[in-house]
Structure 1
Amino acid sequence: MGDNTTHELDSVGVWGGGFTGGLVGGIAMGLVLHLGANQIELLGGLVPGSETALAAGWTFHLIISVLFGLLFAALASRDVVQELVETFTDYVIVGLAFGALLGLFAGGVLFPVAMAGAGVETLPLPFLPLPGMAGELVSALLFALGHLVYGLVLGAVFAAINGVTPAAVERRVPLER
């Protein structure tokens, strides 16, 4: 997809890109959260009736990731967005912005609501390598980084599924249209 061409999205690409981008982005984000500070297990602890916090955390996280991927697809496919987005890099930037906003929404609304629903007032942070405020800062930074990784991967996968390739790839492998 060069800068001077336009690309028409179809429903299979839009919803397939949203689903697949959400799933792959969720896996990438989940790895950041899990390997960084076991935050996936913490999320699983908020799922009522779960016996294995890690499995519940991954399951819940991936379901939410796919749903937000579909929301991204609905937003990214709107005419007002399509007028601004042309290149692979544009989709990645839109994905990063979506991930950043999602992180603010998740941290400021979704996570507190889930904590209230689970009857948890404060989160135990025994999984952090650093105690106290330093540990909380590491946790917050990993949470933010995870959402940016999610958005980056989501935007890139959505673009690729919809036939928008990075300019460097297109220069090396011209596609017949």
Structure 2
Amino acid sequence: MSTESASPTDYGLDGSTNWLLGGAIGGIVGSLLFGALLWVVDPAIVTDTVPGIYGFDPDGALGWVFHLFHGLILGLVFGFLVSRDLILGTLTADTQFDVLEETGLTVRFVLAGFVYGLAVWALLPVIAGTVLVSIGGADPVFPGVAAETLAGHLLYGLLLGALFSVFVDTESSAEDVETPFDDASES
């Protein structure tokens, strides 16, 4: 049995566009798990609410297509953001916390995914969803503030960050980037 662990480049996802593939994989798988959670708790969110946002009649298949498409696009946005020098440098920066210092990049990407999932939940279903429903003349009570959508978005973000760090070679990119706090600590 080999003692070597698999690296992201063993899967062939390296290079300048690795964030596209990592974001897409994490986004699709994360939205599948998120959708499964919603399906167990309240299937109408996927079958009725998601197509209704776009003015379509309730349709389970169409709701799933839109839900997976949302996950894909949001995964690509995550991949783009965390692969930029400023955010990647922040994720790899030295910290004052021993627990965080001892973790690898995978844990930091999982935590970044958690924060991203929380931000997506706050911006899309809570704020934008409530505004869209209000504009449409419906009651502004929207399922976006429900616990199941919060849990789903956090689960999505955690899985997105984990899969991104597994399938994307972030180690070599992290070595080349300067942390944004280097200048402040040297002064």
What is the TM-score of this pair, normalised by structure 1?
0.71
Unaligned 5+ runs, structure 2: 1-5, 7-13, 93-104, 172-187
Instruction: Give the structure 2 partner of residue 134 of structure 1.
Output: none
Instruction: Give the structure 1 partner of residue 102 of structure 2.
Output: none
> What amino acid does structure 1 have at the position aligned with 2:25?
T
Between the aligned residues of both structures, percent identity stands at 27
Measure, in 1, the Cα distance between the counterparts of 2:109 and 2:161: 5
> What amino acid does structure 2 have at the position aligned with 1:115?
V
Instruction: Give the structure 2 partner of residue 109 of structure 1.
Output: 127
**Deviant stretches of 4+, over 6 Å:** none
Secondary structure of the structure 2 residue equivalent to 1:10:
coil
- Write the mapping of 1:5-154 to structure 2, written as runs, cut at 5 A: 10-38=15-43, 39-48=45-54, 50-86=56-92, 87-116=105-134, 120-121=138-139, 140-154=146-160
Structure 1 residue 56: Cα displacement: 1.8
Structure 1 residue 120: Cα displacement: 3.5
Structure 1 residue 85: Cα displacement: 2.5
Number of corresponding residues: 146
What is the TM-score of this pair, normalised by structure 2?
0.67
Measure, in 1, the Cα distance between the counterparts of 2:127 and 2:109: 26
Q: How big is the alpha-carbon RMSD for the aligned residues of Structure 1 and Structure 2?
A: 2.8
Unaligned 5+ runs, structure 1: 2-8, 125-136, 166-177
Structure 1 residue 118: Cα displacement: 5.4
Secondary structure of the structure 1 residue equivalent to 2:148:
helix
Structure 1 residue 42: Cα displacement: 3.0
